[in-house]
Structure 1
Amino acid sequence: MSSGTPVAVVVVAMDDEAAPFLDLASEAAEPELVGRAQHRRLTLAGRPVVLVRSGIGFVNATAAGAGAIFRYGADVPLISAGSAGGLAKDVAVGDVVLGTRLVNADADARAFGYVLGQVPGMPEAYDAAPALADAVRRAAGAGAGSAAPVLREGTIASGEKFVTADLAAQLRADFPDVLAVDMESAALAQLCHSFGTGFVSVRAVSDLCAPDGTEFLTHVDDAALRSARLVTAALGVLAG
């Protein structure tokens, strides 16, 4: 397997989200630890890729993403993959959300004139890299291999809390345009903004922010597979 520069770094939080990428890979090297993050070189859609399992949450994601940027270069794009909670009322379990806009749901510096979701000194939100977002759209339009996902485009919000019913109601009021929520993508988007690294988030909906984690546990494997299939297909599009 090539030890050269990968075409992308795919960041997932959990082993459950890494597993389908390993299944889809035609080659997979042994894992390496970089800090607490696990890096594995894969061949996906005929292209060299690094899969990084970061751990859950902002700090784990940022540490893993920074390690990847310093190891592979700021010009190698990052893709946030895996599961998300569906927030918008018309989003369904199994939908795949292309995060064209990322916002930090925990940031609140309105007392100093910033908008809700804006970290002081940073943009109000972070936009996906157009070429990466277009590759995801094209892959979804081509059926993403054996699957034909329902692709939703819009805002993904990220925070440090697992979103259940009460918090979901507050987030819908605060961020009415948000389609889905996770615990990593906005942190990675801010990191990539700081380094000029291309970024996109492709998350499949595992739950609808139910009162407990049962729905998430039931559907996380399927959501991870849907995200992985679409990301892998998008890598093939980028190869062309």
Structure 2
Amino acid sequence: MSDGPVAAVPDAVAPVAVVLVAMDDEAAPFLSLASDVGEPERVGLAEQRTITLAGRPVVLVRTGIGFVNTTAAGTGAILRYGTGVPLISAGSAGGLAKDVAVGDVVLGARLVNADADARAFGYVLGQVPGMPEAYDAAPVLADAVRRAATTVDGQVLREGSIGSGEKFVTTDLAQQLRADFPDVLAVDMESAALAQLCHNFGADFVSVRAVSDLCAPDGTEFRTHVDDAAHRSAEVVTAAIGLLGG
């Protein structure tokens, strides 16, 4: 954890949350749901813009794919807006658990780094040396997501662990991950990195990802359903933002 909170810079907007997505496809539904959209600003590779969701000011960040891109974008947001502003990871994910369906929204109550393996030094699988075994979502954010999902007609919310790694998970890798991480419901390429970042800075965090594919042999299923998954995640996140502080 950090030694103390990071204060926002004086001229920065005071958003209720920073929402981070990896791709333009995942940013698009937030822009369509927003009542006001500001101009984009490049911060390194990332693109930040202020939008209004559910009547609340929010910063939407398109980070780029993977651990380094999302950590860099998240760090930029924390340094600009302060640790008092929660970070929310949104967008698509691959469904790993055998009872997860395309279209389900997964609340990541716990986040684990599926690429980390330091068992030779006494750590558990998924644990980065010196870090926790996994990262818990902030209770206030998780509760807002639970309540928000009940307001979205027909939406299934699953709650459990999300695993993150820098490999697109297809059939063979999915079989190994199910054996290694039997509690993981879905996998993505960003959420655990953001969870570790927020742990280090002492900022609140939650991941809300919708299932776009079931770790199929290639990316066809993902490409078919990514827009729908992004929309489902955005609907739940937007409803949750409307509940923050309420």
- TM-score, with length taken from structure 1: 0.97
Q: Deviations over 1:13-41 (max 9, x none)?
A: 00000000000000000000011100010
* Aligned length, in residue pairs: 236
CA distance in 1, matches of 2:86, 2:244: 11
The alignment partner of 2:244 has SS state of helix
Secondary structure of the structure 2 residue equivalent to 1:134: helix
Q: For residues 136 and 156 of structure 1, what CA distance do their matches in structure 2 show?
A: 15
1:10 equivalent to 2:15? Answer no
| Partners of 2:134 and 2:22 in 1: CA distance | 21
Instruction: Tell me which residue corresponds to 1:151.
Output: 157
Structure 2: which amino acid aligns with 1:187?
A
- The residue aligned with 1:202 is 208
For the pair 1:37 / 2:43, whether they are aligned, the reply is no
Q: What's the CA shift for 1:148?
A: 3.0
Please list the CA deviations of residues 57-84 of structure 1 after superposition, one character each: whole Å capped at 9, or x if unmatched: 0000000000000010011000000000
Instruction: Tell me whether 1:169 sits opposite 2:175 in the alignment.
Output: yes
Once residues 35 and 56 of structure 1 are traced to their aligned partners in structure 2, the CA distance between those partners, rounded to angstroms, is 14
How big is the alpha-carbon RMSD for the aligned residues of Structure 1 and Structure 2?
1.0
Identify which of 96, 100, 105 aligns with 2:109.
Answer: 100
Check the 8 A contact 2:12/2:80 in 1, yes or no. no
Determine the structure 2 residue equivalent to 1:72.
Answer: 81
Aligned equivalents of 1:36, 1:213: Cα separation in 2: 24
Counterpart amino acid of residue 236 in structure 1: G
Q: Is the 8 Å Cα contact of residues 140 and 148 (structure 1) preserved in structure 2?
A: no
Q: Quick one: distance in 2 between partners of 1:154 and 1:43?
A: 29
Unmatched segments (≥5 aa) in structure 2:
1-10
TM-superposed deviation, 1:177: 0.4
Look up the match of 1:235. 241
Counterpart residue type for residue 81 of structure 1: A
Task: Indicate conservation of the 8 Å contact 1:47/1:239, yes or no.
Answer: no
- Name the % identity: 82
Q: Which runs of 5+ in 1 are unaligned?
A: none
Find the aligned partners of 2:82 and 2:183 in 1 and give their Cα distance: 33
Distance 1:4 1:218 in 2: 36
What is the alpha-carbon distance in structure 2 between the residues aligned to residue 183 and residue 197 of structure 1?
A: 20
Distance 2:234 2:162 in 1: 18
1:84 pairs, out of 90, 93, 104, with: 93
Does the aligned pair in 2 maintain the 1:13–1:53 contact within 8 Å?
yes
Q: After TM superposition, where is structure 1 displaced by more than 2 Å over at least 4 residues in a row? A: none
Equivalent residue for 2:187?
A: 181
One-letter amino acid of the structure 1 residue matched with residue 155 of structure 2: P
Matched residues in 2 for 1:182 and 1:216: separation?
12
Q: Indicate the residue corresponding to 2:8 in structure 1.
A: none
Match of 1:222 among 204, 211, 228: 228
- Counterpart CA distance in 1 for 2:245 and 2:68 is 31
